[in-house]
Structure 1
Amino acid sequence: MIENTILVIGGTGKTGRRVADRLTAAGVPVRVGSRSGSPRFDWHDRATWAPAFAGVRAAYVTFYPDLAVPGSPALIAELARAAASAGVEHLVLLSGRGEEEAQASERALADAVAGTGTAWSVVRASWFMQNFSEAFMADGVREGTLVLPAGDVPEPFVDCDDIADVAVAALTGAIPPGQVHEVTGPRALTFAEAVQEIAKAAGREVTFVPVPLDAYAAELRGFGLPDDEIELITYLFGEVLDGRNVAVAPGVRAALGREPRDFADYARTAAAGGAWAPPA
């Protein structure tokens, strides 16, 4: 029997955690899809998929490490078919803006559930603001120097809270299915400008240092980062961050009837919460 439970695949991640928290606060039963969940969910263990989908009405799908990874469209299609077979009524996929494999995954999702009675939605996001405070860039900011292979190309960074609000609206039927919601922040900033906003909010000096992509990849390799993760990072900085995503998109306003959160507001909130407190 299908209940009102919503499965959040990647429910411990930056957007999944926020989606799960919002659904729980609204009284919606949530199942966190992760390798430590119960029932557990593992992208690379298909035997875990059917138990995770059992009794689920809708699912929020985030793919690890990123839909830019080759082969992700086929895996997304396989997952979508498994969800449809389990009677899931609606799949909401988190996708990446300007990523060829991500857009192919969006099409694979829609094609896989066509004619099954399972609806789909896509939340296609720009780079997360929270990458500066909750991911691989946070340590550099805390130490006062952020080194990245990023030049002067601006990016309309989006707040993960806005992503979660749009996803929840789709999952709960507040906005109709069958749409791609392209979400960004209200303005595009270079990485140097974003770091300036962070420094202002944190009340201390933080410097941005651009470096060549190959030198950055070599440094990551020296830190022992796996080759597949290095390839993903170099793809995102070397290809996706080429100006294709400079334009601001109206997805947050169209879905929620309000403007997206500005980077300066995000920086003030993160700084007040101690995200960039310097190392002791």
Structure 2
Amino acid sequence: MTTSQFLIIGGSGRTGRRITSRLESRGLPFRATSRHTGHLFDWHNTSTWDAALDGVTSAYVCYSPDLAFPGVPELIADFSARARTRGVRRLVLLSGRGEEGAIASEQALQQSGIEWTVLRSSWFAQNFSEHFLLGPVLRGRLVLPAGDVVEPFVDLDDLAEVATSALLGEIDAGRVYELTGPRLLSMHDVAAELSAAAGRSIEYVPGTPEEFVTDVEADGILRQEAEPLAELFDTILDGRNASLTGDLGEVLDREPTDFSVYARRAAATGVWIVPARMTA
């Protein structure tokens, strides 16, 4: 048996790598998995699960693209059952705020008989710099089926702090934490913040789900991945998440990071500098 204590599913991903960095800084043993490198873990290949769970007592459970996708609750239920038989004592699940389709996945984990924590997060601020909206930002045009709805964007560094605390048992288990940022912003507000940070004009254009899919296809995002995302956005961006909670600040014991702070930090990395090929 290995000495790894913490399992981070998707350890090279946006949330996973931030959590592993925090565990590493504390000198704590962990196993970061992915589908392609290092410790192999594939949600759709159950033969990879046992080796990933070997010696693990706490696991961060992250499913990409989204928990609300068809068939995912069954995967979460099967994984949770396998984790229990392998001696895992604590599961921390990343979920999406306002996603009715994700509730079944949450319940599958909660009914596993293992100590659990659910982190139900609002939209990630880093979607605009590390994921599917980076291309639109570089093109200076966000096309989203969001209308004028407001959203309390969460900074992933804040989320990683909460997830790490949950893995270490430093916060209450058996609880769903609704994580929101400190301010409600519309996509028009987001475009203004991005423009100010990037030093150039970035506009928001309310669009249909199909227009969103067509737009991100230009960045190499497959239609079969973009279409479920578009449907999800069209559903949850209806005002249901237009409120703030105190859960994130409670755990952090400070004010959550504002979107403007995130935008300035991201801009300073050069991620939004438009490549010459896009301006030619």
TM-score by length of 1: 0.93
**Does residue 245 of the first structure (1) align with residue 241 of the second (2)?**
yes
**Does residue 255 of the first structure (1) align with residue 251 of the second (2)?**
yes
CA contact (8 A) 1:2 1:87 kept: no
CA contact (8 A) 1:95 1:106 kept: yes
**Does residue 22 of the first structure (1) align with residue 18 of the second (2)?**
no
CA contact (8 A) 1:3 1:57 kept: no
Given the alignment, which residue of 224, 227, 232 partners 1:236? 232
CA distance in 2 between counterparts of 1:37 and 1:251 reads 34
Partner of 1:260, secondary structure, is coil
2:55 aligned partner: 55
Partner of 2:57, secondary structure, is strand
Over residues 62-106 of structure 1, what are the superposed CA-to-partner deviations in whole Å (9 max), with x where a residue is unaligned? Answer: 002210101211110110011111101111000001111211111
Partner of 1:132, secondary structure, is helix
Percent of aligned pairs with the same amino acid: 49
| Deviation of 1:215 (Å) | 3.3
Partner of 2:41, secondary structure, is coil
**Does residue 205 of the first structure (1) align with residue 201 of the second (2)?**
yes
| Deviation of 1:2 (Å) | 7.9
Over residues 43-64 of structure 1, what are the superposed CA-to-partner deviations in whole Å (9 max), with x where a residue is unaligned? Answer: 0110110110001121101002
Given the alignment, which residue of 114, 118, 122 partners 1:126? 122
CA contact (8 A) 1:41 1:49 kept: yes
| Deviation of 1:222 (Å) | 8.0
Over residues 248-276 of structure 1, what are the superposed CA-to-partner deviations in whole Å (9 max), with x where a residue is unaligned? Answer: 12221122211110001111111111121
Partner of 1:73, secondary structure, is helix
> Which of 154-163 and 202-211 deviates more?
202-211
Residue segments in structure 1 that go unaligned for 5+ positions in a row? none
1:185 aligned partner: 181
Written as runs of structure 1 = structure 2, the 5 A alignment for 1:88-107 is: 88-107=88-107
CA contact (8 A) 2:62 2:93 kept: yes
- The alignment covers a number of residue pairs equal to 276
| Deviation of 1:220 (Å) | 5.3
1:110 aligned partner: 110
Alpha-carbon distance change, 137 to 260 in structure 1, aligned in 2, over 3 angstroms: same
CA distance in 2 between counterparts of 1:235 and 1:272 reads 33
CA contact (8 A) 1:129 1:266 kept: yes
> Which of 172-181 and 153-162 deviates more?
172-181
2:140 aligned partner: 144
Residue identity matched to 1:82: R
Instruction: Report runs of 4+ in structure 1 exceeding 6 Å deviation.
Output: 221-224
**Does residue 272 of the first structure (1) align with residue 260 of the second (2)?**
no
Alpha-carbon distance change, 265 to 219 in structure 1, aligned in 2, over 3 angstroms: closer
CA distance in 2 between counterparts of 1:173 and 1:249 reads 22
CA contact (8 A) 2:136 2:215 kept: no
| Deviation of 1:221 (Å) | 6.3
